[in-house]
Structure 1
Amino acid sequence: MSTTDEDSSLVTPPSSARQDVHLVLLLHGLYGAPANLWCLEEEVAAAGARARETAAGAGAAAAADSAPASHHLSAAPTQSGAKGVDDPAADRGLQIAVLNARSYEHARTWDGIDVNAHRVGEELDAEITRLAEEEGKRVVAISITGYSLGGLIARALVGQLHARTPSFFDAVRPAAFASIATPHLGVLRYGSWRSTWVHAIGQHLFSRTGQQLYCLDTERGSPLLAVMAHPDRVYLRALGLFPSVTIFANGVNDLTVPYPTAAIVAHDPYVDHESTRLQVELDGRVVRKHYVPDTDDDEVETMVAPTPSGATTPVPVPGLRSERPLLPPIFYLNRPGIMRYALFPLLPVIIPMILSLVALTFAYHSFKSTQRIRLHHTTAKRSLLWDVDVDGEGEPSDYGSTGQTTRNDTPVETPVETPVETPIGSPGATRPGTPGPAVRTMAPAQAAVVAAGTDTDKDTDADGVDGGDDDGTATPSAPTSMGQYTQPLLTPLQHSMIEHLSSVPQLERVVAWFPSAFNAHAVIIARNAKVAKWAWQGEGREVVRVWASKVVEAGAGPL
C-alpha cells in the first residue's frame, strides 16, 4: 500500500468501520435561535441512549441463548451502537446525532420559508460530510422536526431534498417528520376586531416570510403554502416518504399558532371548552381523548391521539378551569405579594415605548432582509432552488431578482360556505366526520384563483392548486357568535390545504394541554424553562418526551 493510500485511510475510515447514525435535524421558529430547542436535544439524546441500552441488552440475551456456552463465554463484545449485519436488535440501537440548525437564526428567519430551507439544506450537507470525515460516522437515517415556523421550513426542505437528482432519500432513509405548533395553514383570521387588526398590520411585517405566512406571495401562481400542500408537487410527495408524520398542536391558549392551523383542521373543538362542557382525559400533558356528555350524562368519546408509549393511566379532568394571568407574564415581577404587580402603574408608559421600539426594529430588519434575499439570489443561483412538478420537469421556485415576492395586496373578500362541525353530544350534532350546517363567512381570500389571475368561477388555478368552489352564490344561515369569533374564517385555499395534508395516511395528531398558560406556544417545548422566572414551562417536557420516543422508534426502523 502506498503512503498516499495509508494517509487516505486515516482521514476516511473504510465503510465497514464506520458507525451508522440516525441524524435528527431540529429547526427553530420565527426570530428564534437553536438555544430555543435545548429540551428537544436533551430528550432525544436520552431516548436514544435508552433505546441503545435496551437493544444491546436484547442482543446480548439473544446471543447468550443461541450460542454454545463452551465456545462464546470469552468472546469480545461488539462495539456499542454498531449495527451487525444479521442482528436486528443492533439495528434498533442506532446512535443518535443531533443537528440543531443555526444557518437562519434571528432576523434571517424573515428571508422566506424556501430561502431558509435552502440554507438548512446546505448546512445538512456540510454536517453529513463532517460526520463522515471527522468522526467516521455514516448517516443512514434522518428525522426532521420543526418548531413553529421551523415546521414550514422543514416541509420546504424535504421537498427540496427529494427534488435532487438522485433524491437525497435514495441514500438516507427518512424516519420521522414532526412539526410542533406550526402554522400549516398560515395565519388564521377570526371575526374579532383584534384578528382584523392583526391581519391589517401583520401582513406588512416579517418581509418575505410574512407575505408567505399570509398567503400574499404569488410568484408561483399560488402561495407557497398552497404549493407545498398540493398532492402533485414534490413537497407533499416527499412528506409521504416518512413512515412517521406527527403533528403536535396546543389544544388551548396558543396565542401565536392556534389549534386549527397547527393541527390542520377546520374546526376547533377545544375553544371555549369550559362553556361547552368539554371533558378531556390526559396522559401527562397530552390529550388522550375528549368528549361532551350528552343529555343523559353518557360519554360520547372522540379519540384524538393514541396513548403514548409507557404513559400512565389517563385521569379524567372534568371541566378544567384555566388560571391564566390577565396580562402576559413579562409584566409580572418574580416577587411575593403585592410587589408582583409593581409594574402595573407604569404600563401606560412602558407599552408605548415597547411598541415604538418594535416598529423601529421591524423596519430595520425588513430592510436588511431585502438585502440578504438579493445576495442569496445572486450567490445561490436560481438553479439550486428548483421544484419538480407533476411531469418531473423543473420549474423555478426562487424569488425575484429584486429580493421581494410578487404580492397580492388587495385580496378579495367573497362569501363562501364553510362547513362547521357541531361538537359531538351537543344538540344537532352529526356523526364524526359529517359536516354540520354551513355558516356564512367572509373569506379574507388570498384565493389562488384570484392570485393567478383566473376567473373566480374556476375550481383550480393556473398552478393546479385547488382554490375551492367560490362562486359567491350561496346564501347559508347567519353566523352565530361562536362561529363568528371563536372559529376560524377559512378561505377555500385553506380548506384545500386541510384536505390534501390530511390525506397523508401516516399523519398523526398529538394535542398538548396547558390550560393555565397565558400563551402556550413556548410551553410546548419548555423553551424558557432554564430561566428561574419561567421554570414552570418545564411541564412542556412531558410533550417533548412523547416526541422523542416517536423519533427514536422511527429511526430504529422495522425489526
Structure 2
Amino acid sequence: MSDSPAIVEVHLLACVHGMWGQPSHVTRMAEIMRETHAKAEDGVELDVLVAETNRQAHTYDGVDWGAERVVQEVKDRIAVIETPGANPRKKVTRFSIFGYSLGGLLSRYAVGILYSTGFFDDGKVKPVNFATIATPNLGLLKYGTFLSSVQHTFGPIFLSRTGKHFYAKDADEWGAGEGKPLLEVMSEKGSVFYDALAKFQSVTFVANAINDITVPFITASAEAYDPFVAYTRNGVEINLDEKYAPVIKSFQLPSGPAPTAPARPRKFSRAWWRAKWNAPSKLPPPLQFAFPFNIVAWALLPILFPLFVATAMTNLGYNTFHSRRRIKLLESSGQGNRSAIVSFMQRVERRVEDTVLDMSNDGMNDEYMGPDAGPSNMTTASPSRAGTPLPPLPGTSTPLKEKTRPPRRMSITYTPLADPNSRYQDSYPSTDTTKEKQNQPLLTETQRRIIANLNTLPNLKKVYVFIDGVPNSHATIVCRDPKGFSFHRRGEGVLRYLADGFEM
C-alpha cells in the first residue's frame, strides 16, 4: 500500500482580455467563475488565471506573439500549482480557456501551441471548455461606407502586426507558401489550431446580436448572414432567457413580408425634435452630461473631435512603432513555439501524403492479389483516444474518473441561419429590404471559407446576446467596467450562463 499523499486534481481556466485591454476587463468573468465553482466538484478544484502579460500596447504585437505570452503564463501557473513538496499535492488534469474580443483569437492560437507541443498528449491534461466572447473570428468586417474603407486602409498600418491579422494582410507569412492569412489557416481542418479546438468537450462562440460596433454579429458568430441588423423593422421575434437575460433563448424570422414600420415624424416637426431630445446620447460616456452641460459638450465638439483624432493617431503611431521594435527583438531571439507549430503542420501534411499513398497501394494490392487476400495486407488505422480512460496520476494506482455531474443549465440551440451548403450564396430572406442588404457586411471569399470551416467544428455551440439601449454593447457583454459604467452589469447574465454551463 502506497504512503504517497493524495493528489488534488485541478481544473485550470485561463481568461484572456482583448485589444487595448487590461486584466481588469475580464475580472468580473473570473469572479463569477470562482463564485459558481467555489467548492471542489467530484474532487476537482477550479483555479482561474487572468492573463496579464498582453495588457494595453502589447496587444499590438499580433495574434501569434500574444498567444505565446498566454501559453507562458499557463505554464508558469501550472508550475506554481504543482510546486514540489506542497501539501496537499496538486496536479492540473483539466484545462479550459475563455477569450474576450482579441483574446478569443489569442486563445485559439494558444491551444494550437499547447496541442502541437504535446500538452494534451496521452490524456495528461484534458481540454474541456473553450469560449470566445465577442471575438472577430473572421477578422474585422468591411461595409459599404466611407468610414469602413478608411479603417480597412489604415488599420493594418496603425495596429502593427495585430492589424495585419485583423484585416488579413498577412498572407505572405502563413499557409506553407500558399498565400493564406493566419485567420484562415487557424480555421482549416487538419491545422493544429482546428484540431486543438476539436479536442475540447465544449466550444462556444458568444456574439452580440445588436449594437456591437467593434465586433459585429457576423464575425463573432461565424455566420454569413445577420438577421438582427434591422431587428426594429424586419419583424424578427426575440425571446430572452428568463434566468440569463440578455442571452437570447430563441428567435424567429417572419415567414411573410416584414411588418410595415410606423411612419417617421416629419423633419423639424415638434415630434421630430422630441424624438431627438429623448434619444440616447451618441457622445462617448465621458462626454455625456445633463442639461445644460450637454449643450456645451455639443458646442465644443468641433474643437474636441479634431483633438481627439490627432491624439488617437499619434498614440496609434507611437504604439505601432514600439510594437514593431518588440517583434523584431522577439523574432531575432528565436523565442516562441512557431517552429514547433510549423514542424507539426509539416508532419500532418506528410501523414496525409502517406495515407493517400497507402490507399493507392492498397488499391493496387487488391487489384493484383484478388478477393482472397488476407487482412494482413490492409493498413490498420490508429485507435481513437475518444473512449480511452485517463491514465492514473503519479502516486496513485487508480485511473482518473470521467466526471458525470449534470450541468447546472440546459444548452441553447438555435435554428441554423442558413444551410451550410448555401453559405457561399448571397441569399437573403424575402423579408429583407434594400437598406438591410446594404447593412450586411461585404464578406470576402476568405471570410466565407473561414465561416464554412469553423462551422464544421464538433461540439460547437453559439450563444447570441441582445443588449439594447447602449451605444456599444462590446464592453457590456463581459461586464468590463461595472464600477465605472453601471450599464455594463447588464452583461452579467452572459457570464452566469457560461459559469453554470462550465463542465468541471
TM-score of the pair, normalised by structure 2 = 0.74
Q: Secondary structure at the match of 1:493?
A: helix
Q: Which runs of 5+ in 2 are unaligned?
A: 260-277, 351-413
> In the alignment, what sits opposite 2:403?
none
> In the alignment, what sits opposite 1:129?
79
Alignment pair present for 1:29 and 2:18: yes
Read off the aligned partner of 1:231 and give its amino acid letter: K
Deviation at 1:206, TM superposition (A): 1.0
CA distance in 2, matches of 1:377, 1:437: 38
CA distance in 1, matches of 2:155, 2:198: 32
- 1:96-154 CA distance string (max 9 Å, x none): 11110111111111111011111111111111001111754221111101000000000
Deviation at 1:439, TM superposition (A): 4.4
1:196-215 correspondence to structure 2 within 5 Å = 196-215=149-168
Alignment pair present for 1:187 and 2:145: no
Which of 59, 84, 106 lines up with 1:153 in the alignment? 106
Alignment pair present for 1:278 and 2:239: no
Which of 345, 360, 367 lines up with 1:389 in the alignment? 345
> In the alignment, what sits opposite 1:217?
170
Read off the aligned partner of 1:121 and give its amino acid letter: V
> In the alignment, what sits opposite 1:84?
none
- Sequence identity, in percent? 32
Deviation at 1:200, TM superposition (A): 1.9
- 1:360-398 CA distance string (max 9 Å, x none): 11111111101111111233446654322264369xxxx
> In the alignment, what sits opposite 1:307?
none
Deviation at 1:169, TM superposition (A): 7.4
Read off the aligned partner of 1:542 and give its amino acid letter: G
Deviation at 1:160, TM superposition (A): 0.7
- 1:398-435 CA distance string (max 9 Å, x none): xxxxxxxxxxxxxxxxxxxxxxxxxx9xxxxx986674
Residues 229 and 40 of structure 1: CA distance in aligned 2, closer, same or farther (over 3 Å): same
> In the alignment, what sits opposite 1:548?
499
- 1:167-189 CA distance string (max 9 Å, x none): 46741111100000000000111
Residues 392 and 256 of structure 1: CA distance in aligned 2, closer, same or farther (over 3 Å): same
1:48-447 correspondence to structure 2 within 5 Å = 48-49=37-38, 52=39, 81=40, 90-91=41-42, 94-133=44-83, 136-165=89-118, 167=120, 170-218=123-171, 219-220=173-174, 221-283=179-241, 284-295=245-256, 324-333=280-289, 336-381=290-335, 385-387=339-341, 388-389=344-345, 391-392=347-348, 435=422, 438-439=425-426
CA distance in 1, matches of 2:33, 2:279: 31
> In the alignment, what sits opposite 1:530?
483
Residues 130 and 438 of structure 1: CA distance in aligned 2, closer, same or farther (over 3 Å): closer
Read off the aligned partner of 1:208 and give its amino acid letter: R
CA distance in 2, matches of 1:330, 1:272: 28
Q: Secondary structure at the match of 1:202?
A: helix
Residues 15 and 483 of structure 1: CA distance in aligned 2, closer, same or farther (over 3 Å): farther
CA distance in 2, matches of 1:431, 1:202: 31
Higher relative contact order (Cα pairs below 8 Å, separated by 6+ residues): 2
Read off the aligned partner of 1:111 and give its amino acid letter: D
Contact conserved, 1:263 with 1:509, CA < 8 A, in 2?
Answer: yes
Contact conserved, 1:246 with 1:508, CA < 8 A, in 2?
Answer: yes
CA distance in 1, matches of 2:295, 2:465: 30
- 1:13-43 CA distance string (max 9 Å, x none): x974332111110110011111111110110
Read off the aligned partner of 1:118 and give its amino acid letter: E
Contact conserved, 1:148 with 1:181, CA < 8 A, in 2?
Answer: yes
Contact conserved, 2:229 with 2:436, CA < 8 A, in 1?
Answer: no
- 1:176-220 CA distance string (max 9 Å, x none): 000000000001111122222221222222100100110000212
Residues 297 and 235 of structure 1: CA distance in aligned 2, closer, same or farther (over 3 Å): closer
Read off the aligned partner of 1:287 and give its amino acid letter: I
CA distance in 1, matches of 2:418, 2:62: 41
Residues 124 and 362 of structure 1: CA distance in aligned 2, closer, same or farther (over 3 Å): same
CA distance in 2, matches of 1:182, 1:330: 25
- 1:54-80 CA distance string (max 9 Å, x none): xxxxxxxxxxxxxxxxxxxxxxxxxxx
Alignment pair present for 1:518 and 2:471: yes
Residues 246 and 497 of structure 1: CA distance in aligned 2, closer, same or farther (over 3 Å): same
Q: Which runs of 5+ in 1 are unaligned?
A: 1-13, 53-80, 82-89, 299-321, 395-423, 425-429, 442-478
> In the alignment, what sits opposite 1:303?
none
Residues 187 and 169 of structure 1: CA distance in aligned 2, closer, same or farther (over 3 Å): farther
Q: Secondary structure at the match of 1:539?
A: helix
Contact conserved, 2:11 with 2:44, CA < 8 A, in 1?
Answer: yes
Residues 178 and 260 of structure 1: CA distance in aligned 2, closer, same or farther (over 3 Å): same
How large is the Cα RMSD of the aligned pairs? 2.8
Contact conserved, 2:129 with 2:201, CA < 8 A, in 1?
Answer: yes
CA distance in 2, matches of 1:139, 1:166: 11
CA distance in 1, matches of 2:4, 2:438: 60
- 1:225-262 CA distance string (max 9 Å, x none): 01000102111000000011011000000000000000
CA distance in 2, matches of 1:365, 1:297: 47
Contact conserved, 1:111 with 1:369, CA < 8 A, in 2?
Answer: yes
Contact conserved, 1:249 with 1:262, CA < 8 A, in 2?
Answer: yes
Contact conserved, 1:180 with 1:249, CA < 8 A, in 2?
Answer: yes
Deviation at 1:480, TM superposition (A): 7.0
Question: Paired residues, what number?
Answer: 403
CA distance in 2, matches of 1:18, 1:376: 38
Deviation at 1:331, TM superposition (A): 2.0
Residues 437 and 382 of structure 1: CA distance in aligned 2, closer, same or farther (over 3 Å): closer
Deviation at 1:482, TM superposition (A): 3.4
Q: Secondary structure at the match of 1:222?
A: coil
TM-score of the pair, normalised by structure 1 = 0.67
> In the alignment, what sits opposite 2:265?
none
Contact conserved, 2:420 with 2:452, CA < 8 A, in 1?
Answer: no
